[in-house]
Amino acid sequence: MTEKEERGTLGATLNSLAGWILPGLGHVSQGRLTRGLVLGLVVIVMFVAGVTLGGRLYSLTDTREGLLSNVFAACDLGTGLLYFLSRAAGVATSDQAELATAEYGNVFLMVAGLLNYLLMLDAFDIAVRRKP
Amino acid sequence: MLLFAALVAVVFGAIGREGLREQFRYGLKIFVEFVGVGFVLAWILYWVP
C-alpha cells in the first residue's frame, strides 16, 4: 500500500468515525450533503421514535438478559453521540418498561444503531472510491 | 410497522443503488416487502395458539 493510499484509508476511517458520532456526518464531510442529511435524519427519527415508544438503551455492562444484553448494547451503541447523551441524561434508561410499546421501542433503538453502522460503511466505501 | 418499514427502506434504497430513480424503485420494493412479510407473519401467528 502506498503512502497516498494509507492516507486515504486513514481519512476514510476518520470519516466513518465522524458518521458514527453524528449520523450522516460521514457523508456531509465528503460533500454528500443531501445524502448525509436524509440518512442522518432517518437514524435520528428512528432513535426518537424508539425513545417515544418507551424503548430502553442497554449498557455494555448490563447482564440482565445475559449475553443478549451485550448484543443489544452493541446495536444501541451504533447511534453514537445520541446513545451517550441519552444515557448521560438518563433518557431511555429505565429498567422497568413503562409503556406497552416498549419492545417496539427497543427494536427501533437497536435498528437505528445498526443502520448507522451501515451508513459508516457506506461513508467509508465512498471515501476510498469503492462507490461513486 | 409502516414507519419502521419506511425508514429502513429509505436507508436501504439510498445505499443499495445509485441514481435517484433506481434508489426510489429499490426503496419502494424494500418497503412493500417489509409490509407484506409483516402482514403474512401476523396472519400466520394469528392462527398459532
The region of weakest confidence among A10-14, A116-120, B27-31 is A10-14
Query: Considering only residues 4 to 33 of chain B, which have any Cβ-Cβ distance to chain A shorter than 8 Å?
Result: 4, 7-8, 10-11, 14-15, 18
ipTM of the complex: 0.87
pLDDT at residue number A1: 65
pLDDT at residue number A73: 92
Instruction: Indicate the residue of A111, A131, A132 with minimum beta-carbon distance to B8.
Output: A111
Residues A58, A76: Cα–Cα separation, whole Å: 7
pLDDT at residue number A119: 95
Instruction: Indicate the residue of B3, B7, B18 with minimum beta-carbon distance to A132.
Output: B18
pLDDT at residue number A83: 93
Length reported for chain B: 49
Q: Which of A30-44, A61-75, A84-98 has the highest mean pLDDT?
A: A30-44
From A4's Cα to the closest Cα of chain B, the distance in A is 27
pLDDT over 70 for what percent of chain A? 96
Q: Do B4 and A38 touch (CB under 8 A)?
A: no
From A94's Cα to the closest Cα of chain B, the distance in A is 23
Contact predicate B14/A39, CB 8 Å:
yes
pLDDT at residue number A42: 96
Contact predicate A22/A40, CB 8 Å:
yes
Interface residue of B15, B17, B24 to substitute, partner A, most A CBs within 10 Å: B15
**Which letter does DSSP use for residue A132 in this model?**
-
Residues B32, B29: Cα–Cα separation, whole Å: 5
Q: Do A111 and B4 touch (CB under 8 A)?
A: yes
Instruction: Compute how many other C-beta atoms are within 10 angstroms of the C-beta atom of residue A101.
Output: 15
From B46's Cα to the closest Cα of chain A, the distance in A is 18
